[in-house]
Amino acid sequence: MKEIKKVAILTAGGDCPGLNPVIRAVTKTAITKYGLEVMGVRHGYFGLYHGDFIKLGLEDVEDIFTKGGTILYSSNKDNLFQYPVKDENGNLVRDENGKLVYEDASDVAVENLKKAGIDAIFILGGDGSLTSARDFARKGVKVIGIPKTIDNDLAHTDYTFGFDTAVTVATDGLDRVRTTGMSHHRIMVVEIMGRGAGWMTLHAGIAGAADAILIPEIPYDINKVAEKIQKDKANGKDFSIVAVAEGAKSLDGKQVVSKIIEDSADSIRLGGVGALVADQLEKLTGSEARATTLGHIQRGGTPTSRDRILSARYGYAAVELCMNGGFGRMVALRGDKIIDVSLEDVIGQKTKNVDPNGEYVTLAKAMGICFGD
């Protein structure tokens, strides 16, 4: 097997706290322990397509561990295996029906890696970005995956980095609306990120003592939520906290879409369910309601120490995996152990969702938290 001398790091998809600590851990381990040359791919897969590489030295990564985002930048639009074609002016090309025209541009990326002399690449991503990582591995690229997403919905790992910070921010949000809600006897609805999985809302909802938690995995009946609030009111609790995931579904199964980004690999952006729920609850209960959307506040800022440690563990383990020839695999957390799993298995399985009959939902219900079911 060809010796590994030069490696690259790529951050793809929505950013999240912990990316920089992973970049730091990979770079430091690769240089200090193995004497490797380390490159960063800028702007995610977009940069891989354009050959946008920079050299990373120890000094470049020394002080990045407290920074949110990614010093390498990211893109959550670019799937090189299904890439929208652009004309010479950079405009999207459409067919006769007005539909975007796509091509497989992955060979360009493979060629760029070869030209730059990169022997292996670390890809930090969630479900979508790691699907491409798997596809590059299938083409013979030496890929190591590192699981990133605030949603914590990636299969085969108990936790992704970024999740703990996002939950901490969301919990703080719930704590803050609680005091103002209490002062004005209001229903305070907080919309928390999470498209298909309600992990963040469930964890923050329990930590922040929400009265109702609405998540995509448990379709809600708004009347049931209103009944719970009325009951609490009758028992003397005259304010309520409702934690709602942006992907929460009412009984008709519909989610609230905020915008469609046509040339994005995953074009739907959700948002607005918090305002809808607040409006409905105000009408049904007669109590004043207010909605707050946390949105990207959850994705920005300093990673928690827990996320920094997980990032360091993942970064170190990823370099070890690479030096042991574990390509096409992803580092993962199982219990308190770092393990590695095949990207084929991670991507082959559906995303990881909240079990409506699992421990967390069960304990929340036992404490009187309403899920609208």
Active-site position among 151, 153, 164, 340: 151
Instruction: Confirm if 220 and 371 have CB atoms less than 8 A apart.
Output: yes
Cβ proximity to ligand F6P, 50 vs 195, nearer residue = 195
Least distance CB 155 / ligand F6P (angstroms): 15
CA 279, distance to chain mean position in Å, is 28
> What is the distance between the terminal CA atoms of the chain, rounded to a whole angstrom?
56
C-alpha triplet 348, 260, 262: angle, nearest 5°: 75
By CB under 6 A, name the one of 20, 74, 76, 160 that touches ligand F6P: 76
Instruction: Residue 318: name the closest of 124, 103, 151 by CA.
Output: 124
Helix (H) or strand (E) holding 169: helix 163-184
Amino acid type, 335:
G
Q: Does 202 bind ligand F6P (CB under 6 A)?
A: no
User: Tokens 């670390």 map to which residue?
Assistant: 122
CB contact at 8 A, 285 and 230: yes
Residues 230-269: x where in contact with ligand F6P by CB under 6 A, - otherwise, as a string: ----------------x----------------------x
Instruction: For ligand F6P, give the closer residue by CB, 6 or 195.
Output: 195
Residue in the shown chain whose Cβ atom is closest to ligand F6P: 193
Q: How far is CA 35 from the centre of its chain?
A: 32
For residue 148, state whether it binds ligand F6P (rule: CB under 6 A): no
Structure tokens at 342: 């095949």
Q: How many CA atoms lie within 13 A of 1 on its CB side?
A: 13
Residues pairing with 187 in the sheet:
240, 289
Shortest distance (Å) from residue 195 CB to ligand F6P: 4
* Closest distance to ligand F6P from the beta carbon of 141 (Å): 24
194 binds ligand F6P (CB under 6 A): yes
Asked if residue 74 binds ligand F6P (CB under 6 A), the reply is: no
In whole angstroms, the minimum distance from the beta carbon of 235 to ligand F6P comes to 35
The minimum distance between CB 14 and ligand F6P, in angstroms, equals: 4
Q: Is 276 exposed, middle or buried (0-12, 13-18, 19+ CB in 10 A)?
A: middle
Q: What's the CA gap between 212 and 111, in Å, rounded?
A: 52
Site string for ligand F6P, 295-314 (x = CB under 6 A): ----x---------------
Touching ligand F6P, residues 315-354 (CB under 6 A): none
Of 8, 11, 14, 75, the one binding ligand F6P (CB under 6 A) is 14
Shortest approach of ligand F6P to residue 17 CB, angstroms?
11
Is 95 annotated in the active site? no
Residue range at the interface with ligand F6P (CB under 6 A); choices 192-200, 209-217, 320-328, 330-338: 192-200
Nearest one of 299, 278, 300 to 289, comparing CA atoms: 278
Q: Are 125 and 323 in contact (CB under 8 A)?
A: no
Site stretch for ligand F6P (CB under 6 A), options 50-58, 190-198, 335-343, 355-363: 190-198
| 228, two tokens | 């719970």
CA 245 – CA 210 distance, rounded (Å)? 13
Q: Which of 6, 50, 176, 195 binds ligand F6P (CB under 6 A)?
A: 195
Among 71, 150, 167, 278, which residue interacts with ligand F6P (rule: CB under 6 A)? Answer: 150
Closest Cα to residue 11, out of 119, 122, 104, 108? 122
Asked if residue 152 binds ligand F6P (CB under 6 A), the reply is: no
Could you give the residue numbers annotated as active site? Answer: 151
Contact positions toward ligand F6P, by CB under 6 A? 14, 76, 126, 149-151, 193-195, 246, 269-270, 299
